[in-house]
Amino acid sequence: MKFNQLGPVGAEVSGVNLKGLTGSQIKHVKKAFLRYNVLIFRNQDLSPAEFKKVSNIWGAPTIHPVFKGMDGYPEIIEIKNFGEKYHTNAHWHSDVTFEKEPPDTTLLYSLEVPDEGGDTLFSNQHLAYEELDNGIKTSLKGRTAEHSNLGVVLLSGGKAKDAKTVDHPIFRTHPETGKKALYVTEAFVRSINGLSDEESRELLSKLYEQASKLKFIYRHKWSNKDLVVWDNRSVQHFAEHGYGDKIRNMLRITTSGSKPF
């Protein structure tokens, strides 16, 4: 098993069949995951049952609080995009941050991908925090932001009254490494608590710009049967379109989470 670092975040893992990992190999994978934050496994032939089993390496697979899972596999969401008008994921985000305990890990497995377009971008939020202006770090130390699932609820056909909110720290500490990460996401954050609307908007704009700087990003070009696993506590991602009306079909699992601190 070899790990080839891909840039500011991520590594491609070669010489491994995820269906036949030994205990020792699992330990190596988990250690590398904490180092690289994103792992890419190419040419993995996984049925839904095998995909679910593999996800247990990173935690218990969870059922999404809004979107319905596959028949027989409620923890697996099938993500099908047939054209740009169906594309709803074009924003930087960490997954499900509107929960009190957001999932620690996301696994995305490609079934059918276009030959052009459809890349996923990953941004290292440890680096985003480390290189953030010291004045902003000081002013926001200990502050929280309000996260909401209103957009997701409306997208799934629900009603605004069913939306929920939760507060999370703007700078999150990774529970396994102790490293700080920037933890605000355009998709779900509504405001910074304790600031005026104007101050909140101004600072959030700066934080979003910091979170998505090119120097923190790895761009993944998908092939069929890729499995990409990322640390939701330290990485944001962005799904590009650019493939017209071609099909892009993926399976997604998120694993059990922890309360940000």
260 found inside a domain: no
Our count of domains for the chain comes to 1
- Residue 11 has φ and ψ, to the nearest 5°, of -150, 140
Token output for 162? 């069913």
Sequence-distant (6+) residues with CB within 8 A of 12 are 3, 4, 6, 39, 40, 42
Domain assignment present for 215: yes
pLDDT of res. 197: 95
Residues 6+ apart with CB under 8 A from 28: 1
Query: pTM score, two decimals?
Result: 0.92
Q: Catalytic pick from 93, 172, 174, 233?
A: 93
Selected catalytic residue, list 147, 174, 237, 248: 237
| pLDDT tens digit sequence for 51-72 | 999 999 999 999 998 888 999 9
Examine residue 51 and state whether it is found in any structural domain, yes or no. Answer: yes
237 catalytically annotated: yes
Verify whether residue 93 is a known catalytic residue. yes
Per-10-residue mean pLDDT of the chain, 261 residues long, equals: 96 95 95 98 97 97 91 95 58 93 98 91 98 97 94 77 90 98 94 96 97 98 97 96 87 96 97
Domain membership flag for residue 261: no
Q: What's the pLDDT at 251?
A: 97
174, 220, 248, 252: the active-site residue: 252
119 assigned to some structural domain: yes
The answer to whether residue 60 sits within a structural domain is yes
Is residue 41 within 8 A of residue 18, CB to CB? The reply is: yes
Q: Report the pLDDT value the prediction gives residue 66, as an integer from 0 to 100.
A: 83
Asked whether residue 259 is assigned to any structural domain, the reply reads: no
Query: Which domain range does residue 150 map to?
Result: 2-254
Whole-number pLDDT of residue 85: 53
**Residue 66 belongs to a domain with what CATH number?**
3.60.130.10
Which one, of 35, 253, 230, 233, lies nearest residue 122 by Cα?
Answer: 230
> Which amino acid, 3?
F
Answer yes or no: is 46 within a domain: yes
Given the residues 95, 104, 226, 231, select the one marked as catalytic.
95
Cα(171)–Cα(182) distance, rounded to whole angstroms? 5
